[in-house]
Amino acid sequence: MTKSDKVLYVINELERLYPKTPVPLLHTDPYTLLIAVLLSAQCTDERVNKITPILFKKADNPFDMVELKVEEIKSIIRPCGLSPKKSKAIHELSNILINKYQGQVPNNLSFLEELPGVGHKTASVVVSQAFGEPAFPVDTHIHRLMYRWGFTNGKNVVQTEKDAKRLFPKEIWNKLHLQIIFYGREYSPARGVRKEKDFITVAIGRKSVINKYICD
């Protein structure tokens, strides 16, 4: 298969497997999604989804969040890890949203990336999943699979995002990045992959990857 054929194969197979792509993190609006994504750094979505209802019961908007003390936020989000850093960022970004954006989350990558605790990936998730703007957030699953499938050199997530945006049609970025994540979790984890399970990698992947990571 040519690279174009491989790209089309991936798109078709992922659409067959995952015709619907619900956002994994529980949220009700752009602000609660922003907080959930921030908390998901080095933490599973499942754990975040157990903690955010507790936090959002106390504060689900920046005006209520700044009324909480940082220590109170930290105690609630502790199970998500990095709680000292994350609690401070949540409190600070909530203040900024109030003072600079009238309490609203900006629909702009650059503005979002200026907020404490918000990197490019978090900002990309928010504009994609909260506002429907085309973006291709690259997490560990996407970075891993893009390399396994021979679509990027695996150098870094910046290069992986550039390659993904170059190869895949812009109109499907928002859905496709979730489909790749779902496939990575279910069929092609970092370790313990089996040939009969990870059929896309077997069909189009790098031979070196298949030989190294996939057991018979």
Give the residue numbers marked as catalytic: 121, 139
Instruction: Let me know if 160 is exposed, middle or buried by CB neighbors in 10 A (0-12, 13-18, 19+).
Output: buried
Residue type, 200: I
Alpha carbon separation from 161 to 30, 97, 157, 185 (Å, rounded) = 23, 28, 6, 19
3-state per-residue secondary structure call for 88-129: HHHHHHHHHHHHHHCCCCCCCHHHHHCCCCCCHHHHHHHHHH
